[in-house]
Structure 1
Amino acid sequence: MRAWVFHKAGPPSEVLKFDTNWPKPEPSGTKILVEVHAVSLNPIGWKAMSTPPISWGQKKPCVPEADVSGIVAGGELEGTGFSIGDEVFGIVPYDTIMKSGQGVLAEYTLVESKLLAKKPTNLSHAEAASFPLAGLTAWQALVIQGGLKEGDGKKVLINGGSGGVGAYAVQIAKAHGAHVTTTSSPSSNSLVSTLGADEIVDYHSVDLPKYLAEKHGDAKFDLVFDTVGVKTMWEGSEGFLKPEGQYVDVAGPHMESFLTALSAGLDIAGRLYKPKWLGGIKRKYTLMMLHGTQRSPELQEAASLLAKGTIKPIVDQVFAFDDVHKAYERSMSGRAKGKVVVKVE
């Protein structure tokens, strides 16, 4: 079968190669064979390819990426609720890809039956593939970690509302009745407005921590979800986050080398454990990369909201299977509004 594969660490443009004779996977146990129709790209995908220390733990050779939409093509289906020919979408967890080297950027892939859901008929394969990792990350940050419940009217701040995770976070928070403030650039304001954001802050024009403390200091946020990883936001969070509130971070400190990874590790330890009297921030901090597992109940519940149109997929651009390098270039540019998707045909 055709697949994109990397055999060594490095930038996608240099190490990711097109293989026309990659072995087709064989289903076994609870894994279902899926004929891939669309794959969405995620930052962790190219970081596992190119960025230490993450890339050090990646088994090679490797077919990258985790988010898939396609058609059930084989496997032991009894009791799964699936049949041959069903249109499905789902995810291969990154810890599985790290250990096995078997991702989804190929004509066929294997997915655990519990991590698949039937694709809503109102979505294309490209739209469905855009949801799993970004959408489930937002769901877990807001609902599982943040404790959002329908109708409780919490105030939520989402840093980065137009990105792949942020665009889903705005919609999920609004679906649970939250008042949502989000940061955005002027070019993305119309997008986050259509997603339902109640307040949009241009991060280019203000000192964010100072602005948020001045405007929301008397009525602070219950939950902050940082999809960008802005250190000064955490450092200033006491000014705009309630004492009992939570700061959930999906990005964390940036790691581009061994030295920055070491510095990031010390930074994370400080956020989690440094006491107030040593300069620590007296707010609860959660780093989602420590908790971000994918679970079946959230995927099934999200599929229902996608089918109803309560959550709408945000696809930035769709690339042909031959144009994967261009797709990664777009994903890595930081300019994508929503998810970058590769169509497999």
Structure 2
Amino acid sequence: MSLQTMKLVYQPDPASQDLIFSSSSPVPKLTDPDDHLVRVKAASPCRHELLWEATDTHLFDKGRTPPRVPCPDGAGVIVTAPTTNSPFQPGDEVFFSIDYTSRAGCLAEYTIVKTGEMALKPKTFGWPAAAAAPLSALTAWQGLFIHGNLAIPSSTSQEENAGKRILVTGAAGSVGSWVVQLAEAAGVTSITGVCSESKLEMAKSFGATEVLSYESFSTPSSNKYDLILDTVGGNALRDCWSVIKADVGVLLAVGSDYPENVRPEGAPKVAKSEWYLVKQSRDDLEAVAALVDQGKCRAMVDSEYGMEDYKAAFEKVSDGRPNGKVVINIS
């Protein structure tokens, strides 16, 4: 099979948020022994991602080679795989989160994916759910089990995580919902979800054992938590300091602020407080896929758009306050 050109959407330069559609761009070529050519079925954008290269320049220090194709998350079918040392074969259905700090993302008919960035798609997921899951699920998994030191879901994790109390802000959001589900899958029996009043029931549906609105969360409480994962930043992160356990608590953030930057006067010493950056991981995606197919986790898809409606999709992500991830169907 000879593939020459494809459709894609690209960002002309880091300073521009105006995306451009191309109907005839070259199909990417395999240049590394770890490269796989994937036919993209669906892609999912992230909020503010068109600002990342201009504002977080340290993450793009290798230089991003044009075309600057957005959307780190995607799902599709492998077209070409390395002849040696790859666990994947042409025809495999996969989902992935691309490290696009130096490469193209997923808003294209074809993209390059590395072995360590993907796993076989959950059998129970369609293409939209598969594209919506990777980055959010990886962020939650790594927060809980790598940075937060909880025992990963297993036959003994409930015993190992016994007595742990966790809290997550943005509990009904794309990352927070995964935090709640994965914590429940790991046997945590005390999971407090903080979110807006209108989404309290949604947070409960994902497995939160207690839910609080942001207004009630800002009220002083005697409840203290072993692990807090903030996905919101700002006042919500600041309020987390009042309910973290002194000395032994772990306070993690993936939102817009670092915990120490909003630490109020008199806040307790903790075992760890940090902002962390998610890393691509085939192993973590495989673990997530297994839990999905066991019926223990689901992805939140707010809405779906066609490739030609990419502008509307990005507007929804930026301004529409979606309930979950926005997905762009490619083919």
TM over 0.5, shorter chain: yes
Q: Report the Cα distance in structure 2 between the residues aligned to 1:320 and 1:19, rounded to whole angstroms.
A: 15
Matches of 1:147 and 1:200, distance apart in 2: 23
Structure 2 Cα separation of the partners of residues 249 and 45 of structure 1 = 18
Asked if the contact 2:241–2:267 (Cα under 8 Å) also holds between the matched residues in 1, the reply is no
How far apart in 1 are the matches of 2:233 and 2:16? 22
Structure 1: how far apart are the matches of 2:110 and 2:77?
10
The worse-fitting range, judged by mean Cα deviation, of 40-49 and 305-314 is 40-49
Shift of 1:130: 0.9
The reply on whether 1:160 has 2:158 as its aligned counterpart is no
SS at match of 1:47: helix
Alignment correspondent of 1:287: 275
1:293, distance to aligned residue in structure 2 (A):
1.4
Partner of 1:263: none
Equivalent residue for 1:71?
Answer: 77
CA contact (8 A) 2:260 2:273 kept: no
Residue aligned with 1:340, SS = strand
Given that 1:47 and 1:54 are in contact with CA atoms closer than 8 Å, whether structure 2 keeps it comes out as no
Q: Tell me if structure 2 keeps the 8 A contact 1:47–1:55.
A: no
Which secondary structure does the structure 1 equivalent of 2:249 belong to? strand
Tell me, in whole angstroms, the C-alpha distance in 2 between the residues paired with 1:226 and 1:56. Answer: 21
Residue in 2 that maps onto 1:265? none
Counterparts in 2 of 1:183 and 1:68: CA distance versus 1, 3 Å: same
State the AA in 2 paired with 1:43.
R
Q: Is the 8 A contact 1:2 1:21 kept in 2?
A: yes
Stretches of structure 1 lacking an aligned partner (at least 5 in a row): 254-267
Q: CA deviation at 1:29?
A: 0.9
Secondary structure at the counterpart of residue 226 of structure 2: strand
- In 1, Cα distance between equivalents of 2:48 and 2:144: 20
- Match in the other structure for 1:262: none
Distance 1:56 1:167 in 2: 26
Of 1, 4, 7, the match for 2:9:
4
Q: SS of the residue aligned with 1:19?
A: strand
CA distance in 2, matches of 1:89, 1:168: 16
Describe the SS at the equivalent of 2:24: coil
* Aligned residue type for 1:201: L
Return the offset for 1:8.
2.1
Structure 1 pair 280–342 and aligned structure 2 pair: CA distance change class (3 A):
same
Give the superposition deviation at 1:144.
Answer: 0.8
**Contact 1:32-1:77 within 8 A present in 2 as well:** no
Per-residue displacement from partner, 1:29-81 (whole Å, max 9, x unpaired)? 111110000011112523326x6345994635401121110001013143422
Q: More helix per residue: 1 or 2? A: 1
Name the SS of the counterpart of 1:189 in structure 2. helix
Instruction: Report the Cα offset of residue 239 of structure 1.
Output: 2.7
What CA RMSD, in Å, does the superposition of the two structures yield over aligned residues? Answer: 2.4
Aligned: 1:196 with 2:207: yes
Q: In structure 2, how many angstroms separate the alpha carbons of the residues matched to 1:228 and 1:293?
A: 19
Query: Could you tell me how far apart the structure 1 residues matched to 2:304 and 2:241 are?
Result: 41
Could you say if the C-alpha distance between residues 251 and 269 of structure 1 is closer, same or farther in structure 2, counting changes exceeding 3 Å?
closer
1:187 and 2:175 correspond:
no
Specify the code of the residue in structure 1 equivalent to 2:68: C
Report the Cα distance in structure 2 between the residues aligned to 1:66 and 1:196, rounded to whole angstroms: 27
Deviation at 1:163, TM superposition (A): 1.3
Q: CA deviation at 1:11?
A: 5.8
Distance across 2 between alignment mates of 1:297 and 1:39: 21
Distance 1:310 1:41 in 2: 25
Question: What is the rounded CA distance, in whole Å, between the counterparts of 1:309 and 1:128 in structure 2?
Answer: 14
Gaps spanning 5+ residues in structure 2: where?
1-5, 152-156
Q: Does 1:337 align with 2:323?
A: yes
Name the CA distance, whole Å, in 2 between partners of 1:221 and 1:279. 17
User: In the alignment, which residue of structure 1 is the partner of 2:131?
Assistant: 129
Give SS of 1:106's match.
Answer: coil
- The equivalent residue for 2:47 is 43
Q: TM-score, normalised by structure 1?
A: 0.83
Pairing of 1:180-259 with structure 2 (within 5 A): 180-203=191-214, 205-206=215-216, 208-209=217-218, 211=219, 213-214=220-221, 217=222, 219-230=223-234, 232-243=235-246, 244-253=248-257
State the Cα deviation string for residues 277-320 of structure 1 (Å, max 9, x = none): x867523211013xx21222211111111111111111111111
Contact 1:126 1:343 in 2 (8 A): yes
**1:334 to 1:161, Cα distance in 2 relative to 1, 3 A:** farther
Instruction: Summarize deviations over 1:181-218 as a string: whole Å, max 9, x none.
Output: 11122322232121111111122x43x34x2x42xx2x
User: Paired residues, what number?
Assistant: 311
**Cα deviation, residue 18, structure 1:** 0.2
Aligned partners of 2:289 and 2:259: how far apart in 1? 36
Q: Are residues 199 and 334 of structure 1, via their aligned partners in 2, closer, same or farther at CA, if it must alter by over 3 Å?
A: farther
User: 1:248, 1:194 → 2: CA distance?
Assistant: 23
